Structure 1
């Protein structure tokens, strides 16, 4: 399995890449300014970073190519926001900026959250949030204050998490990353059932 990680110059990137290297057979780190090339990629991970998706050099181009090639995609923080914006969600200022706080997250129990505690604790570092999701996206997790903390596409193998699974204050973050990589290696796994929203409504 060849995983391509797009580096958006975040201080957490090194830890996230280290986690992914423990799971994937090969991790290729690409700077967001590089011309996208996913010819040998099994999957794509869009890393965290400062600013907004459209300000992050070629980040949206990397995402576009991943979507076109129909490979599994995971977005973390900025990467999560990029996925939302790409499919038509609104990116707005959060009620308050959060930097390095562990919060409880309620989730669907499926997809990335298979066999993860309910609720689960994850670390948040962000000042922007997604709202007004299009019909193609489902909110699979939310914070206690009602903010969208994870999304997934209804039909495509595309997932996003607003929080940082690689933080030491995210005790089940490694498991979440394992769930994503398990799907890449075996699409018939539980991640095929990824259309259940946090409201409990299942969409076929």
Structure 2
């Protein structure tokens, strides 16, 4: 069992990697790694500054048959890849955001109905892609978390790996469980 964390040049990618490797073996990889060279049980698309610097992430989403969790920019790449839309948010920069869990699903199971999270909304998903469901929302953004209806593709706007996020490690553990089960 091994999970790869895709480095999208965000400031928290190494913290995501460290959080995951405390649970299972993990490796951080460049977002320029060819899809055919990825042999992992799960993939986390880390955060980053812009969609333009997301490397091969779209290829990973369309070509790889493993569970994938998108965090912040990873969520946005996932949304755009499948026909959603990302726009500038009304609230930029990192801040604490209270998120309402509207469907626990696989990755949010066991979390409280409302959790405090650490997130940037400089960019955010404003149009849900077809075949995706909204799992969480906030007063800042209607699509804080989403998942594909049939594939194990999940995304969250917030950063579960930071101590400012309630239940963040639980979310990562839930994703690892999805990877173990190969959903």
TM-score by length of 2: 0.92
Please list every run of 5 or more consecutive structure 1 residues that lacks an aligned counterpart in the other structure: 193-204
**Aligned residues of 1:122 and 1:170 also touching (Cα < 8 A):** yes
Q: 1:41 to 1:49 in 2, by over 3 A?
A: same
2:169 is equivalent to residue 170 of structure 1 = no
Taking the aligned partners of 1:62 and 1:103, their CA distance within structure 2 comes to 26
- C-alpha deviation, 1:69, in angstroms: 2.8
Kindly name which structure, 1 or 2, has the bigger radius of gyration based on alpha carbons.
1
Deviation at 1:28, TM superposition (A): 1.9
Evaluate the alpha carbon distance shift between residue 112 and residue 145 of structure 1 in structure 2; reply closer, same or farther with a 3 A threshold: same
Asked if residue 131 in structure 1 is aligned to residue 130 in structure 2, the reply is no
Name the CA distance, whole Å, in 2 between partners of 1:39 and 1:77: 22
RMSD (CA atoms) = 1.7
What is residue 149 of structure 2 aligned with on the other side? 154
8 Å contact kept, 1:44–1:66: no
Establish whether residue 95 from structure 1 lines up as the match of residue 94 from structure 2. Answer: no
Report how many aligned residue pairs link the two structures: 182
Q: Structure 1 residues 27, 130: CA separation in 2 closer, same or farther (over 3 Å shift)? A: same
Match of 2:16 in 1: 16
2:98 is matched with 104
1:48 aligns with 2:47: yes
The alpha carbon displacement at 1:171 in A equals: 2.5
Residue number in structure 1 paired with 2:110: 115
Gaps of 5+ in 2: none
Question: How do 1:62-81 and structure 2 match up within 5 A?
Answer: 62-81=57-76
Q: TM-score, normalised by structure 1?
A: 0.83
Change beyond 3 A, Cα 1:163–1:74: same
Note the C-alpha offset of 1:38.
Answer: 4.5
Residues 38, 66 of structure 1: 8 Å contact kept: no
Distance 1:177 1:139 in 2: 18
C-alpha distance in structure 1 between counterparts of 2:54 and 2:47, whole Å: 13
Q: Residues 57 and 123 (structure 1 numbering): CA distance in 2 closer, same or farther, change over 3 Å?
A: closer
Tell me, yes or no, if the aligned pair for 2:116 and 2:166 is still in contact at 8 Å.
yes
